Amino acid sequence: MITLYSPMDKSFIYWVAASGGVKAGQIVKSSTGAAPVAAAHTGQTILGLAMEDADAGTAAKIYPLGGTVLEIDYDSASATQAASDSMLGTLYDITVDGTSGEMALDLADTTGAFCFLVGYDNTKKKARIVVDEADLLIT
């Protein structure tokens, strides 16, 4: 699950959840309602981080992401399993598990990338990221 690493004093926004709903800890975008971001995201549509589960047609509680540092697991299936200082400031893509909806950072994928790597912990296999503001609908 993606979590807030450095929360700021921001107001939550509420957006109707799209078909399929959203799960807490998912980065969500505006797509006929709030919907989980897919890998290789493009466009200025990201709303923020879902703070709780929301079924389709109900209000999704979302934390706007402008300048917010998030913590995310490394993708265990990625060809790259460790970050290094030389990777900081690089945009990486996420993967989304088709069953659980869990999101992870793919340290080997810079295609369609929208997450800046700003910190890492190779022992815990966790990355700290900031979503590229060019992809944010609401900051």
Tell me the domain boundaries of the chain. Answer: 7-63, 70-134
**Which amino acid appears at position 8 of this protein?**
M
Side chain identity, residue 32: T
Contact call for residues 88 and 118 (beta carbons, < 8 A): yes
Averaged confidence pLDDT in the chain: 94
> Is a pLDDT exceeding 90 seen at residue 29?
yes
Residue 50 burial (10 A CB sphere; 0-12, 13-18, 19+):
buried
Q: How confident is the model at residue 61 (pLDDT cuts 50, 70, 90)?
A: very high
CA 61/CA 53 separation, integer angstroms = 8
- 104 has a pLDDT exceeding 70: yes
- Least confident span in 7-21, 35-49, 78-92, 106-120: 35-49
pLDDT confidence band for 38 (50 / 70 / 90): confident
Q: Residue 8 phi/psi, 5° resolution? A: -115, 170
**In which band, very low, low, confident or very high, does the pLDDT at 40 lie, cut at 50, 70 and 90?**
low
Q: What is the pTM of this model?
A: 0.93
Return the DSSP state at 74: B
